Chain A
Amino acid sequence: MTRLLEGVPRRGLWLLAALLALLAVFPLFASGYLLAVGFLILYFAYVGQAWNVMMGFAGQLSLGHSLYVGLGAYAAAALYVHFGLSPWIGLGASVALCALAGAAIGFFAFRFGVAGVYFAILTIAFAEFARIGFDHLPWVRGSSGLFLPVANYTENDLWNLRGSPRMFYYLMLALTAGAFVLCHALLRSRMGYYWLAIRESPEAAQALGVNVFRYKMYAVVISAAMTSLAGVMFAFYYNNLFPEQIFNISRSIELILGPIIGGIGTLAGPIVGAFLLTGLAEGLRELMLQLGIDVPGVKQVFYGLCLLLVIMFLPDGVWPPLAKKLGLHR
């Protein structure tokens, strides 16, 4: 524990503690709508963090992370619907399935030297493959969707993840905080330094004796396994799953916007990005509601413009310059 804190600026710790405290008391004051927005922010912060392990740390661009969200969601939900298995057990299946899928994709890609843009397209191909496959899988009701039984919950059943939005908010908060600490520890580990070396130059890393194949594999598997948990939360929070939606490529794009806007490869980036993007998008939605405009697509155009502006003018994301301003830069 003390080793983890070593070298972290004290001001950063205070900021982090304040943010955590704020997020912890937030549900006590928030309305139902704000709580839903809060959940969404934490959700995107978490999956962004998971994606960041692969892209930000190890430099492997995945544009198909909806595959792991979808597989994770479907595995836990199907086990619950068919066998009444608690999501805490189903979650094990989700993690195992996604780790396996990640390992398979990583193995094929890295063994055969598929890299860069080709790798990104391969990840899309696998996600699309899963989308169409699940559309035709009767066990999960195919394209007509898998629904979880819903009732009006007066009390929270943590074991079966049936309960109020507040319960899901706190679970998501715990996941996000856990992912933050895990990623911090990973970056500090030997593997973290290997990843950064591979990201900067795979050839140089190889020449220095880093087993590039193995550490790229670890990055994909860890990222996939982390993402699967978000899928489980998604399934039990929204209670319905459609392959067309959950495996959709726009889902994969949506979840990488946060870390890119926040700052690829930084720990705070995915969180800052999720706050900015989801906060602004919900604000925009509210504004349009007030103005009486109801046109689908406006939110996505807004996402696109944000992405465009950030990539053009802040190629490192919002967080690095912000951290400098706050005096958190080493």
Chain B
Amino acid sequence: MPIEIYLNVAASGLLTGLVYGLMALGLSVIFGVVRVVNFAHGEMMTLAMYVTLVLFSALKLDPLVLLVPIAAVLFVFGYLLQAGLINPFINRPEHSQFMLLVAIALILVNAQLIVFGPDAQGIRTSYSFDSFQAGPLIVDASKVYAALAALVVAAALFAFFRFSLLGKSIRACADNYHGALVVGLNVKHLYALTFGIGAACVGAAGAMLMAVTDVTPTIGPAYTLLAFVIVITGGLGSMAGALLGGLLIGLTEALGGVLFTPSAKSMFAFGLLVLVLLFRPQGILGRKVAG
């Protein structure tokens, strides 16, 4: 095969990887602050995709415009989930929290199955078949838009955590739970906000991914695993790591699909995960956490 094909596949993988990275960023933010591993992450992703689907067919608006209201919807969903169900579990053992989210995931995926049915559904935008050409590279327009939007959202999130007072308070909770309580921060509210922000990332990523691919309810667990693989590869709790991990996994899956067979592509992602867990458990950009 000519080299251009590999270049094209790699470029497309990197662009999709950025959207994956945004989804994983949500997982990373939630884990970094609330210290809860969101096992329902992929199920929230498909939820966002279905909301996009419904709104798109009702309003005929572009997914890139829908991104904002959908992120808001997921934010509210995430806030309520944390405030109502997960907050009482903060001081429970790890496996107990994990099981709670497994239960939520189970309910979410099957509720979607009941409501939307098992068939794959997609949307078609005005630019679905457009593409950009740059030298030998030909890339889908929708993938470029989606990747750019992912970068914008991620940059906004970086700025929020770096510069705003609220973002700083959330980081304070992450750094020292008891310290945050002592200085009078409303930790439970901030936790709920954080989960909402993480869910909003998923919402935005879901809206963009809808422009690129189809959705079925049963793909949810696969997205959860993908998000895990990405954040563990990049480093759980590291925001830049999540994006880097997304790029890496996007590239791995795309090249794996071309070099071997598309149905075996996620095997390479899992292979990468196993290697990272064994040789650099804190992830590529993760800091080593004591205890």
The reply to whether B263 and A132 contact each other, CB–CB distance below 8 Å, is yes
Contact residues in A for B99 (Cβ distance below 8 Å): 260, 307, 311
Q: Which of B103, B264, B277 contacts A122 (CB 8 A)?
A: B277
- For window 232-254 of A, CB contacts with B under 8 Å fall at 249-250, 253
Determine if B281 and A113 form an interchain contact, defined as CB atoms under 8 angstroms apart: yes
CB pair A311 B100 closer than 8 Å: yes
Task: Using known A-B contacts A112-B278, A117-B37, A301-B107, determine if residue A129 contacts B114 with beta carbons closer than 8 Å.
Answer: no
Measured CA separation A133–B106 after assembly (Å): 25
Q: Are A135 and B270 in contact (CB under 8 A)?
A: no
Q: Of residues 90 to 128 in A, which have CB atoms within 8 Å of B's CB atoms?
A: 108-109, 112-114, 116-118, 120-122, 124-126, 128
Q: Are A311 and B228 in contact (CB under 8 A)?
A: no
Chain B residue with the shortest CB-CB distance to A135: B263
Whether B102 sits at the interface, judged by CB under 8 Å, is: yes
- CB pair A307 B103 closer than 8 Å: yes
Tell me the dominant secondary structure on chain B's binding face: helix
B110 cross-chain contacts in A, Cβ below 8 A: 297-298, 300-301, 304
Least distance between A316 CB and chain B CB atoms (Å): 10
How many residues of A sit at the interface, in one of the four size bands?
35 or more
Q: Is the CB of A125 within 8 A of B274?
A: yes
- Residue from the list A55, A295, A296, A308 in contact with B104, Cβ < 8 A: A308
Report B81-138 residues with CB < 8 Å from chain A CB: 85, 88, 92, 94-96, 98-100, 102-107, 109-111, 113-114, 118
* Residue pair A132, B98 in contact (C-beta under 8 Å): no
Residues of A within 8 A of B163 (CB): none
B225 within 8 A of A: yes
Report yes or no: B95 in contact with A307, Cβ–Cβ below 8 A.
no
**Which of B106, B266, B267, B281 is close to A300, meaning CB atoms less than 8 Å apart?**
B106
Residue of A with least CB distance to B229: A125
- Which residue of A has the minimal Cβ distance to B260? A136
Asked, given contacts A301-B111, A307-B106, whether A128 binds B270 with beta carbons under 8 Å apart, the answer is yes
Q: Is the CB of B271 within 8 A of A129?
A: yes
Q: B232 contacts A129, CB within 8 Å?
A: no
Set of chain B residues within 8 Å of A250, measured between Cβ atoms: 221
Residues on B with C-beta less than 8 A from A182 are: none
Whether A112 contacts B106 in the complex (CB less than 8 A), given A61-B98, A136-B261, A260-B99, comes out as no
- In the complex, whether B273 has a CB less than 8 A from a CB of chain A is yes
A109 to B273, CA, bound (A): 12
A304 CA to B39 CA, complexed, in Å: 13
Q: Judging by beta carbons under 8 Å apart, are B118 and A296 in contact?
A: yes
Q: Is the CB of B107 within 8 A of A112?
A: no
Cβ-based interface call for A305 (8 A): yes
Interface string of A59-81 (1 = CB under 8 A from B): 00101000000000000000000
- In the bound complex, CA of A121 to CA of B111 (Å): 24
Which A residues are in CB contact (< 8 Å) with B98?
61, 117, 120
Complex formed: what's the CA distance from A47 to B67 in Å?
44
Residue numbers in A under 8 Å from B278 (CB-CB)? 108, 112, 114
Q: Are A118 and B277 in contact (CB under 8 A)?
A: yes
B-side contacts of A55, CB under 8 Å: 95
Complex formed: what's the CA distance from A301 to B105 in Å? 10
| Known A-B contacts A112-B277, A113-B281, A129-B270; A297 and B113 likewise in contact (beta carbons under 8 Å) | yes
Q: CB of A147 within 8 A of chain B?
A: no
Given contacts A112-B281, A307-B103, contact A298 B114 (CB under 8 A): yes
Convert B248-285 into 0s and 1s, putting 1 for each residue whose CB lies closer than 8 angstroms to a CB of A.
00000000000001011011001101100111010000
Cα of A133 to Cα of B95 in the assembled complex, Å: 29
Chain A hits for B92, CB < 8 A? 315
- A143 and B267 CA atoms in complex are apart in Å by 15
User: Does A170 sit within 8 A of B, measured CB to CB?
Assistant: no
Residues of B within 8 A of A249 (CB): 221, 225
In the complex, chain B residues whose CB is within 8 Å of the CB of A298: 110, 114
Least Cβ–Cβ distance between B176 and chain A, in angstroms = 21
Q: A249-B221, A250-B221, A308-B107 are in contact. Are A133 and B273 (CB under 8 A)?
A: no
Shortest A300–chain B CB gap in Å is 4
Q: Give the residues in chain B near A129, CB-CB below 8 Å.
A: 267, 270-271, 274
Measured in the bound complex, the distance between the Cα atoms of B95 and A109 in whole Å is 17
Of A112, A113, A136, A304, the most chain B CB neighbours within 10 A belong to A304
Contact with B along A305-330 (1 / 0, CB 8 A): 10110011001000000000000000
The answer to whether A303 has its CB under 8 Å from any CB of chain B is: yes
Are B281 and A121 in contact (CB-based, < 8 A)? no
In the complex the two chains form, is A132's CB within 8 Å of B281's CB? Answer: no
Nearest first, the 8 closest Cβ-Cβ pairs linking A and B are A304-B106, A297-B113, A304-B107, A297-B110, A307-B103, A300-B110, A308-B103, A132-B267
17 contacts between A and B (CB under 8 A): A61-B95, A109-B277, A113-B281, A121-B232, A124-B228, A125-B225, A132-B264, A136-B264, A250-B221, A260-B99, A295-B114, A301-B107, A304-B103, A304-B104, A307-B102, A311-B100, A312-B88
Chain B: residues with CB nearer than 8 A to chain A? 37, 85, 88, 92, 94-96, 98-100, 102-107, 109-111, 113-114, 118, 217, 221, 225, 228-229, 232, 261, 263-264, 266-267, 270-271, 273-274, 277-279, 281
